[in-house]
Structure 1
């Protein structure tokens, strides 16, 4: 029996929202290529079935985290994401829409998008993209950690600049050299973490700083870059292009300069050169029609696969994790990579001891694209897929087209620890003073088993542990106490309910739910009545 297209579309939309949320929190489960495949599948499904309409289509929303944790501000104009292109034909189609128009091509910096506004020449506010409509106000932090950001500009009235805050590679490397005990994963994640750090003064003292590159001046005429430089901003390279051939040349030039830049890029931006033409082109609800993001192929290196482990995630998914000979790829030294799922391991015929192709394209998690069979010696060993949970021994369940492995034992120790760590994270209870190492130790001793156990901890109880002094224990308890005001939305995110995204939490709050108890007793049918909450998500919420 054929699957219902409408249900398929809703399922895909839920997956896309979930993976967007994971990416926003810096813990993605998919690399770019696999995430893009989800979007492409939904786009193709909706194209083949025009009768299917999603009330909240993620393809028609800006690609940005829905969760805006701090004080918010409404953007003067939405900060939209860009349509992506990876094939020459897509570039031809885009440029062909605007005959006779010139373009400008710039590097697509891999950092944090910011809106910087000035009133009467003085800095008024700095805001992150947020959900595209509302951003998080980060003015005070930006003044400290974003070096070179002008606090005043030679302009009258209201002026707004759009740009990207990045951590330079040289800064990232220097910080990691001097802080081997707490290295930063990559410059992009480091930029995001620095801008939301609760102590920007500490970041500055430790050399954990950012640089702002401006690329747009709202309302200004065509020669934006020159005007921005005159105002005291740094601007990325700009290549003028009369047509599609010049655009291709510019993209190639930027690609060749990737290793020369002191910042990471994840593509090139192609935009109409004329401000008037760009504004006239308009925008969809998710992206401007007069600009496009070209994505370069993933960087690839070869290395040797040493071993494969099967860690258990916070919602029970068991994912193959590859340990490889250290190799520098995509701007960082990689020692671990994802294999995604058992089906891909089999299809790509990957074995322990293989020389493998490891790829990374702006992804937090590198992935193994395949093995180099020609270099096999005969000593390689097949990867053994577990049948039982590595943590609790429960028989694993196989789900989905990728033959994904799941542990359905809610009492599984590994899941419990992951859930506790997730509950304490910034996007949930925000227990900044409670470190991962201590959560693991307290869980190992049976002191922490569920999120509610955090709130029974006392400074006296914590001081029974070696290396736990009065200052640290008091700080931990104070951090836990502050988290009691987290609210329903953060509580739902912190519980890490399978299939429930940050968008699900937002919709439940908008529907009038105020307490977890109300959701638990509502029943799946009542939850399904809420826009874009399907049967699977509803059942997961009340299970």
Structure 2
């Protein structure tokens, strides 16, 4: 075959397979048998292997996966991916409607959509070709997962128009794919995923793209970041346009003119929800008009023009078979209910936390009881109450032990606490759980070092503290079960990469009592180095905003321990970074602020802030405070007796806030 013929044939196959894939995965109306699609795909793969110069980034063959990534790069979103405020009942929905109509006028239409239970992502297209895909992350910065998203067959690699745009959606795992995946995991004696949402998120964060490709994920797109730039006037128009471009949107959406119609739609899906072949955890209600959306604006965290109605938790009855005890990394002994397996909110539940002994006594829980179980927030299983009328007399009382179930040390209840705690610092369970915390995603984020591998390392006495992680060798790891050369190489690379983490990750990973993720970041931003933190006094620490006496005392006590000082020295010797690498607190606040890069004009008299105070606060949050109104002005803050600046802003259609709105956004 000559080059011209090969190029022509390759392009024909790519175009044909794109069309067949669109019909199958987006329209759910296949026009050819699966066998024919597979035959054409194999033919294209062979052609592209023989003539790699004709393989394009949007070829259907990229969906097969196979690339192995070193890591996920960070991606800053063009505009924030805000979270939604919640509504839990009809009164909440009516309150939302009242606020909307107060801010945007009485003539409002809503679009109601199913809230897909998956992983929020953004997709960027350049001249009609899929260029970048990212996770939501913290709303401002996500992770580049383009390679894994390309394996989702319902994501178009090439649009039907050569437009550049960014769309947002929810990647998810259909129920059938979830059941097949967990069946495979059980056959391999692996821990099954708890629910489809976790499975989808885990699949899209695989460094080996062939794993993501094998998971049969899907997606619904629900929004466009820059619809107004394309002369689109409403959210419903944007969704229709996305359909025409070849995106898969959810066709169960409905436009409603009144809040009563919205409530009727919501109530209908409370009943019909189990019939879907994918999980939903609520309904999203959005103001349809983009002009009204802009008029209503956003808070620092969520838009005022949208709300998420959360379904009431599903409650089921099952039998409490036993109560197990586990010891956490801080020594707290937690009782867990072992349940007769039961289906709750889409997943099979066999365990539920009972929190502490007081709760067990308060609810009069006995082993053998019939109990009502629900998932708090559709996520965490909990025992709501027992059904004493169904007792047979064979139920058994439960009481907490006096000694640690792991190390036999005495259990104590500290003053002011309800939990029983093991205070033995060498308790194996605490060490093991501390290691698991250290390598977790929000701490040192060491991919491949999950609970099972940690348990193996601990059982084989290869690690006794976190410093030992950095002494592991390929020979030691290869001797463990299910650890091949490729997985060992990936793990050692991940361990090596973690040495460069910024200080706040290390602080959080060390598990200092009372120091959570946010406090670790605050401490790192303020003190900048591990040495300065270790030398800080309680007075030094409490002078930092958000650090209280209890936390300060815990930090000082932690660094006074000789074994902690030895551990830090070992981590330094292993090459771990001991400095903060991120932006200063002021810069971080400014970067995340709604005012970042905005031009703001102050006019009129303020009641609670002086003009200078307002200017200082705005500039600290990244705003450019100007003295006059022009077309480049983004926001005008109007106090009492505002004059010509307010008039000009109204003429130009610039967003106008009062002082109360300003204070709300600053806070």
TM-score, shorter chain, exceeding 0.5: yes
**1:236-262 C-alpha deviation (Å, 9 max, x unpaired):** 221221112111101012222211222
2: distance between equivalents of 1:400 and 1:196? Answer: 42
**Cα deviation, residue 153, structure 1:** 2.0
Q: Is the 8 A contact 1:344 1:402 kept in 2?
A: no
Among residues 124, 128, 139, which one is paired with 1:121 in the alignment? 128
Seen in structure 2, the aligned counterparts of structure 1 residues 373 and 474 have a Cα distance that, compared at 3 Å, is same
Selected match of 2:209 from 181, 200, 208:
200
Count the aligned residue pairs.
471
- Structure 1 residue 302: deviation in Å? 0.6
Cα pair 2:203 2:211 within 8 Å, conserved: no
What's 1:164 paired with?
Answer: 170
Deviation string, structure 1 residues 150-201 (Cα, Å, up to 9, x no partner): 1222345531211111111111111112221232221111111111111121
Cα displacement (A) at 1:537: 2.4
Selected match of 1:132 from 128, 139, 143: 139
Q: Compared with structure 1, are the counterparts of its residues 353 and 262 closer, same or farther at alpha carbon in structure 2 (3 Å cutoff)?
A: same
Deviation at 1:470, TM superposition (A): 6.7
Partner of 2:326: 311
Deviates more, 1:427-436 or 1:165-174: 427-436
Correspondence 1:112 to 2:114: no
Q: Distance in 2 between matches of 1:172 and 1:467?
A: 23
TM-score under structure 2 length normalisation = 0.66
Query: Contact between 1:316 and 1:408, CA under 8 Å: does it hold in 2?
Result: yes
8 Å contact kept, 1:191–1:210: yes
Distance 1:378 1:329 in 2: 27
Residue 141 (structure 1) aligned with residue 118 (structure 2): no
State the alpha-carbon separation in 1 of the partners of residues 352 and 133 from structure 2. Answer: 36
Q: Superposition pairs for residues 451-466 of structure 1, below 5 Å?
A: 451-461=466-476
Match of 2:80 in 1: 78
| Higher RCO (Cα < 8 Å, 6 or more apart) | 1
Distance in 1 separating the partners of 2:457 and 2:399 = 32
Partner of 1:257: 272
Question: Does structure 1 retain, via aligned residues, the 8 Å contact 2:256–2:262?
Answer: yes
Aligned positions of 1:374-523 closer than 5 A: 374-398=389-413, 403-434=418-449, 436-461=451-476, 476-514=491-529, 516-523=530-537
The partner residue of 2:193 within 162, 181, 184 is 184
Superposition RMSD in Å: 2.4
Structure-1 separation of matches of 2:449 and 2:511:
18
Q: 1:246 to 1:342 in 2, by over 3 A?
A: same
1:243 and 1:471 mapped to 2: Cα distance? 58
Is the CA contact (8 Å cut-off) linking 1:105 and 1:241 kept in structure 2? yes
Kept in 2, the 8 Å contact 1:343–1:402? The answer is no
Secondary structure of the residue aligned to 1:101 is coil
Distance 1:73 1:476 in 2: 24
- After superposition, the Cα gap between the structure-2 partners of 1:282 and 1:463, relative to the gap in structure 1 and judged at 3 Å, is closer
Aligned residue number for residue 234 of structure 1: 248
Structure with a larger share of its residues in helix: 2
Match of residue 95 from structure 2 = 93
Question: How much does 1:532 deviate?
Answer: 1.8
2: CA distance between counterparts of 1:210 and 1:448?
36
Q: Is the 8 A contact 1:299 1:361 kept in 2?
A: no
Measured in 1, the distance between the counterparts of 2:122 and 2:487 equals 37
Mapped contact 2:204–2:212 kept (Cα < 8 A): no
Shift of 1:306: 0.6
> Secondary structure in 2 aligned to 1:73?
strand
2:364 pairs with 1:349:
yes
Native 8 Å contact 1:330 1:361 kept in 2: no
| Alignment of structure 1 residues 312-327 onto 2, 5 Å | 312-327=327-342
Verify: 1:293 aligned to 2:308, yes or no. yes
**1:328 aligns with one of 336, 343, 361:** 343
2:294 alignment counterpart: 279
Deviations along 1:471-493, whole A, 9 cap, x unmatched?
76666545434433334232123
Distance in 2 (alpha carbons) for counterparts of 1:282 and 1:468: 52
Q: Is the 8 A contact 1:126 1:139 kept in 2?
A: yes
Distance 2:420 2:153 in 1: 46
For structure 2, which runs of at least 5 residues remain unmatched after alignment?
A: 1-70, 559-667
1:532 aligns with 2:546: yes
CA 1:380–1:124 in structure 2 vs 1: closer, same or farther (change >3 Å)?
A: same
| Contact 1:341/1:402 (8 A) holds in 2 | no
Per-residue deviation at 1:312?
Answer: 0.8
Q: Deviations over 1:480-519 (max 9, x none)?
A: 34433334232123222222222222223322523x3332
What is the CA–CA distance in structure 1 between the aligned matches of 2:135 and 2:183, rounded to whole Å? 29
Q: Using the alignment, how far apart are the partners of 1:187 and 1:400 within structure 2? A: 41
How far did 1:84 drift? 1.0
Cα distance between partner residues in 2 of 1:418 and 1:410: 12
1:313–1:415 CA contact under 8 A, matched in 2: yes
User: What SS class does the counterpart of residue 525 from structure 1 fall into?
Assistant: helix
How far apart in 2 are the matches of 1:380 and 1:452? 47
Rounded Cα–Cα distance in structure 2 between residues aligned with 1:176 and 1:348: 34
Query: Which structure has the larger Rg over C-alpha atoms?
Result: 2
> Per-residue CA shift, 1:207-262, capped at 9, x if unaligned?
31321111112323222322221111121221221112111101012222211222
Partner of 2:274, secondary structure, is coil
What's the secondary structure of 1:131's corresponding residue?
coil
* Matched-pair contact (CA < 8 Å) for 2:527–2:533: no
Partners of 1:225 and 1:534 in 2: CA distance: 48
**CA contact 1:428–1:486 (8 Å) conserved in 2:** no
The aligned residue for residue 637 of structure 2 is: none
Q: Which residue among 91, 104, 110 is the counterpart of 1:103?
A: 110
Q: Deviations over 1:408-461 (max 9, x none)?
A: 332211010111122233443344344534432432354321101122333445
- Displacement of 1:326 in angstroms is 1.0
How far the C-alpha of 1:463 sits from its partner, in A, is: 6.0
Larger deviation, residues 390-399 vs 461-470: 461-470
